[in-house]
Amino acid sequence: DMKVTQMPRYLIKRMGENVLLECGQDMSHETMYWYRQDPGLGLQLIYISYDVDSNSEGDIPKGYRVSRKKREHFSLILDSAKTNQTSVYFCASSRGLNNQAPLFGEGTRLSVL
Amino acid sequence: GEQVEQLPSILRVQERSSASINCTYENSASNYFPWYKQEPGENPKLIIDIRSNMERKQIQGLIVLLDKKAKRFSLHITDTQPADSAMYFCAASGYGGSGNKLIFGTGTLLSVKP
């Protein structure tokens, strides 16, 4: 079953705490993404990964880092979370060749208090 | 960075009428244009896409048009139903430094009134 799985689905953290968002996919997709979604701003690309240990900054990478040690797994890390990082985070994956539409996970709703 | 402009941001139509959403992109090398539908509390889901070797594509009541010269593409929903009410996002392919990426528009909130 083709699926992108995000954990956790909901998360509440205090300002300054570290946050780890996990994403997995079972399709052997080469490319994986992390987006955040805020009202009126659409989907903003944080990081993109083209394969294991091949990560590139997206449009808003500041305050985030990523890790991709296995093709099926892509993590987003917030070191010392800030209140303005409260958002909905979506992971997505796609085949690497010839532009394919990403398949999105269910999202993680993060609140930083 | 590259941007995709999407208009309108809010669209209200009467049931059974048509709805149109327009997007423009900056990069003439963009060659792939997907459209996503997102219902409240859910993830975006692909509904239709078009590549630059086509000018028009239709899947049932969804029509996508692409004008490469004007760097413009649009989604037309014919015979709208209340179930079409959702957020819609357009996207255009771009270059992400090490490979391709997608650039999303800011979304259109479609409301179909019975």
* Rounded distance between C-alpha atoms, residue A2 and residue A12, angstroms: 29
Mean pLDDT estimate for chain A:
94
For the cut 70, the answer to whether the pLDDT of residue B98 exceeds it is no
Inform me whether the pLDDT recorded for B78 exceeds 60: yes
Q: Over 90: is that where the pLDDT of B102 sits?
A: no
Question: Hey, are the CB atoms on A90 and B43 less than 8 Å from each other?
Answer: yes
Q: Quick one: pLDDT at residue A35?
A: 96
Summarised one tens digit per residue, pLDDT across range A34-73 is 999 998 788 999 999 999 999 999 989 999 999 999 999 9
Given a cut of 70, is residue A98 above it in pLDDT?
A: no
Tell me, letter by letter, the H, E, C secondary structure of chain A. Answer: CCCEEEECCEEEECCCCCEEEEEEECCCCCEEEEEEEECCCEEEEEEEEEECCEEEECCCCCCCEEEEEECCEEEEEECCCCHHHCEEEEEEEECCCCCCCCEECCCEEEEEC
**What is the pLDDT confidence band of residue B94, given thresholds at 50, 70 and 90?**
confident
Q: List pLDDT tens digits, range B2-44.
A: 789 999 999 999 999 999 999 999 988 899 999 999 999 999 9
- Interface contacts A/B by beta carbons within 8 Å: 61
Contact A31 B98 (CB under 8 A): no
SS3 B83: helix
Q: Is A95 on the interface with B (CB under 8 A)?
A: no
Q: State the Cα–Cα distance between residues A38 and A88, nearest whole angstrom.
A: 7
Residues B100, A33: C-beta atoms closer than 8 Å: no
According to DSSP, residue B34 is labeled E
- Nearest-Cα distance to chain A for B107, in Å, is 6
Inter-chain touch B98–A45, beta carbons under 8 Å: no
- Distances A3 to A8, A32, B8, B91, B108 between C-alpha atoms, Å: 15, 13, 31, 21, 26
